Amino acid sequence: MGLFEAILLTVVTAATPLLIAALGELVVERSGVLNLGVEGMMIVGAATGFAVAILTGSALLGVLAAVAAGMAMAALFAGLTLGLAANQVATGLALTILGLGLSGLIGRDFIGARRDPMAKIVVPYLSDIPVIGKLVFAQDPIVYASVALLAGVWWFLFRSRAGLVLRAVGESHASAHALGYSVLKIRFLAVLFGGGCAGLAGAYLSLAYTPFWSPGMTAGRGWIALAIVVFASWLPLRVAIGAYLFGGVTVLQLHAQAQGLGIPSQLMSALPYLATILVLVLISAGRRGSQAPASLGTPFVPDR
């Protein structure tokens, strides 16, 4: 029972940054923008959050700084792709490369530094319940924030007028523009939201998941978050399923290595990414029609 509880706890912690980053990218892609720079925004958020937390001694300030850093990177992406109608794929890839280099610059003085992990919110008595006690009632604030974010994104997209407008922009930006909606403004706000989520996911990695800074510590999680959005068919609840599924695969390879099964460690480390490729292939083979927003990745220039 103790091992089972430990596995569930590690699945939650492994899935949380994927869930947060994927929800942010979901909103971005629902608006019709394809941002491949999630990995870069996450790693900059991780470096900035850890640096600010070390310098100020406040995890909260570190989280806020990480969110701001992610939004700053997103604003740069939006300025190029929305303001200048640059190619979204090339710009997103360039943003990832920039983020990897910039994070190394920000975090160079903090390599090897450690701090206590973010304090958990423990509910007395309820946290003592076997199995689900620590899983539900003794988590850090960002885990609870990820659940609230999931509910909020679902409500926004499918129960609010603003969410309906955003989905309309993603399906047909020309029609939305003809109806008087500011396509560029809506997409800009969506991209900022996605950047903030990516920064928050990065902060979770450096302040809660592994409370230290290491170059490249996102380890491809931004790319997995992008794959989860496709896996989920652009639906928030399926994003949660995908995040916990891939989190479980990550934990599986860690426990398999700990048990000494004789499988090469390199293969086990590649398991989450192999699972990502496999899921995308299966989805592509089994899908009759694309469920992606119709205007995804298509630049919008008002005077055209």
Report pLDDT for 259. Answer: 65
Query: What tokens does 181 get?
Result: 């909606």
**61/23 Cα distance (integer angstroms):** 23
Mean pLDDT of 142-151: 96
Mean pLDDT of 196-201: 98
Report pLDDT for 276. Answer: 72
Report pLDDT for 126. Answer: 85
Cα dihedral sign, 128-131-132-137: positive
Mean pLDDT, the chain, whole residue set: 89
- On the question of pLDDT at 234 being above 60, the answer is yes
Report pLDDT for 252. Answer: 76
- Residue ranges and CATH numbers for the domains of the chain are 2-286 (1.10.3470)
CB 169 within 8 A of CB 187: yes
**61/244 Cα distance (integer angstroms):** 28
pTM comes to: 0.92
Which band of pLDDT confidence, cut at 50, 70 and 90, is reported for residue 289? very low
Which band of pLDDT confidence, cut at 50, 70 and 90, is reported for residue 279? confident
Mean pLDDT of 164-172: 96
Query: What tokens does 16 get?
Result: 């949380």
The DSSP output letter for 126 is G
